[in-house]
Amino acid sequence: MASFWTPAAFAQITGGRWLIPPPALDQPLAGVSIDSRQLGPGAVFVAIRGERQDGHDFVAHALAQGAALAIVEQEIPSPEPGGALLQVPSTIGALHALARHYRDLLGASGCRVLSVSGSNGKTTTRHLIHHVLTQAVWRGTQSPRSFNNHLGVPLTLLAAQLGDAFVVCELGTNHPGELAALAELVRPDLAVVTSIGEEHLEFFGDLAGVAREESAVFDFVRPGGSVVLPEARWLPLPLELPARPGVSISRFDLDPLASDLPLPGLHNRLNASAAALVARLFGADDETIRRALNCANAPPLRSEVLFAADPLRPTVINDAYNANPSSMAAALSLLKDWAGRRRVSILGDMLELGERSPTAHQEVVAWALAAAEHCIFVGPCFAAAIAQISPNKAPGTGQVAAYSDWSTEVIEAILAALTPQDVVLLKGSRGMGMERLIPAIESHFPSATNEAAGDGLEFQSTPGY
């Protein structure tokens, strides 16, 4: 076969046919993207049909941006002169075929492929693994932001470099069978499962269903590979471990090397402990791991501590990327332990919990009342849960406020309830968009330091804190 990064190889791997052939079948290609705004000269644009937009509408723009090749499912009217078009039955299938083939090339080049999955903590753990390994002078890449679904995972593989020491792929799921499909693409040399919790119960049914889904990765670990799991005391039920010979199992517990981690919370110390174990499996020494963890930072919207140095603004724990009962418990535990300030929890509904939703929201209300002096809830699920609590904890007592949906008036009421002396937890499911309060807080409270939090927006995927 021709070199992978050529039109000839792409046509052979995908089984496509040329609508418009390239000037040369051996011309070098430079990366793959599904976003026409993020293309450089010589890149390949894969036109994906999405729920809101169809990538075929942007083929002309991609070619005008310098893409050497577009992979499409249909003919494109008036394509940009000089651009090649390769037609395939399914562009998603083509993307997967390319990633599957390239994964084999990565392995042959000595690049170890790591996967990180689990109900909670996968984004932070993936981020910390990459941080520690690169601090220990291994060169490698990781999933950009939360590229953890059927599009993000193949793009992560295709962005890795032959000859690197590693690539860390985050794998997410919210329906049965999704993790197995992603794991088949990645076929990890080392698979990390961070946690098991009540995620997406509308589709998984119960914790046992979650555990079955998260255990699916084990079937795809390569011979001679490793599985990294929490110690049994951190799991609500046992996982079905791989029975195949040649796959080793290692477990992590709270690691003393993570005791000075700058990221707050017990859950982040566990995430860091997983990263420390992975680094040991790579051969890193403890002092190198300790130094790396001591200078780690949080990914966006995951336990980010904002405005802590600004006396004119409340300190904000921005954990707004997603939520389920177990991650809510971890975040509220972090808030409860925060000393020296009035504690305020601002929580949005937890989505996709199915029949478990009413009791789960009632439980979180109770935890919030125990953790914070002032509790604010947003969303119809929390509004219904608040209606079930005792009169002395009802809205209007100064301890609790509940709103069934977002509005300008709701945001103004929340801001009016805050002071610069507060520590504020923001958390809710991705669909609740709790991070909208960050720019509102920045505007409402003048800054003493000109600290800016940014917009916190990123690739839509299967979330994890």
What residues are designated binding site?
A: 118-124
Q: Which residues sit opposite 116 in a β-bridge?
A: 170, 192
**Residue by residue, what is the 3-state secondary structure of the chain?**
CCCCCCHHHHHHHHCCEEEECCCCCCCCCCCEECCHHHCCCCCEEECCECCCCEHHHHHHHHHHCCCCEEEECCCCCCCCCCCEEEECCCHHHHHHHHHHHHHHHHHHCCCEEEEEECCCCHHHHHHHHHHHHHHCCCCEEECCCCCCCCCHHHHHHHHCCCCCCEEEEECCCCCCCHHHHHHHHHCCCEEEECCCCCCCHHHHCCHHHHHHHHHHHHHHCCCCCEEEEECHHHCCCCCCCCCCCCCEEEEECCCHHHCCCCCCCHHHHHHHHHHHHHHHHHCCCHHHHHHHHHCCCCCCCCCEEECCCCCCCCEEEECCCCCCHHHHHHHHHHHHCCCCCEEEEEEECCCCCHHHHHHHHHHHHHHHHHHCCEEEEECHHHHHHHCCCCHHHCCCCCCEEEECCCCHHHHHHHHHHCCCCEEEEEECCHHHCHHHHHHHHHHHCCCCCCCCCCCCCCCCCCCCC
Annotated binding site for ATP: 118-124
Residues in Cβ contact with 365 at an 8 Å cutoff, skipping those fewer than 6 apart: 375, 377, 382, 385, 386, 389
CA distance 322 to 465: 6
Closest CA to 131 of 294, 281, 342: 294
- Tell me the CB-side half-sphere exposure of residue 305, using CA atoms within 13 A: 16
Can you tell me the distance from the alpha carbon of 86 to that of 76, in angstroms, rounded to the nearest whole number? Answer: 11
- How far is 320 from 437, CA to CA, in rounded Å? 10
